[in-house]
Homo-oligomer: A and B are copies of this chain.
Amino acid sequence: MARWEPNARLRLVQAAIDLFCEQGYDSTTVAQIAERAGLTKTTFFRHFPDKREVLFAGQEEHRRLLAEGVAAAPADATPLGAVTAGLDALTASFTPEQREFAPRLATVVAGHGELRERLAFKELDLAAALADALRERGVPDPAASLAADLGIRAFSAAWGQWITPANSRSFPALAHRHLAELHRAATTLT
């Protein structure tokens, strides 16, 4: 990243979320986001292909962190143990800045059909990354894709709680609790 644009990516995300909340997602242009961030449109497009992707900036890094966490789990870890290691690697990466804008980001996404669809694809994509990493450890299908699905469900549920103002628990603690609850539920299906 160029020296004269410190934190450009984070500044663009924060500016976009501010503007989406103030004047609506549809009414906000890339030029306005760049201006609010004190940057140029050219800089914007160096970081993001369009205004929608600003809200899903972390997807590639999230994929990588999940896969690395699963790969680094002990050799004798169960499938859900490896998923837990993946979630831990991911949730440890969240910063106070992300916690700060997350509730408004969630509000913007929830209020717009196209963004909800994009979020559903992000979740499918992360589940696919988790399942690939489990298969690399020798977990067969369909167990690998089921374990991955439980992991992403636990992540989503934990995220929803982590961003509430009243929450005081850590993201990893919330994710562990939801994964355990999902696994219990899976044993009640017959």
Binding site for B on A (CB under 8 A): 78-81, 117, 120-121, 124, 140-143, 145-147, 149-150, 153, 157, 181-183, 185-190
Contact = CB atoms under 8 A, between A and B. Distances in A.
A157 B141 CA distance: 12
Contacts of A143: 185-186, 188-189
Contact of A153 (B117, B140, B142): B142
Given A121-B117, A124-B120, A183 B188 contact: no
Task: Quickly give the copy total for this chain.
Answer: 2
Nearest to A141: B185
Contact of A189 (B183, B188, B189): B183
21 contacts: A78-B189, A79-B188, A79-B189, A80-B189, A81-B190, A120-B120, A120-B124, A140-B185, A142-B153, A143-B185, A143-B186, A143-B188, A146-B153, A146-B182, A146-B185, A146-B186, A147-B189, A150-B189, A183-B190, A186-B187, A187-B187
Task: From A140, A142, A153, name the one whose CB has the most chain B CB atoms within 10 angstroms.
Answer: A142
A153 B187 CA distance: 18
A78 B145 CA distance: 23
A142 B187 contact: no
Q: Is the interface of A mostly helix, strand, loop or mixed?
A: helix
A182 B150 CA distance: 13
A142 B182 contact: yes
A182 B157 CA distance: 23
Nearest to A153: B142
Nearest to A142: B185
A49 to B, nearest CB: 16
A138 to B, nearest CB: 12
A73 to B, nearest CB: 13
Nearest to A78: B190
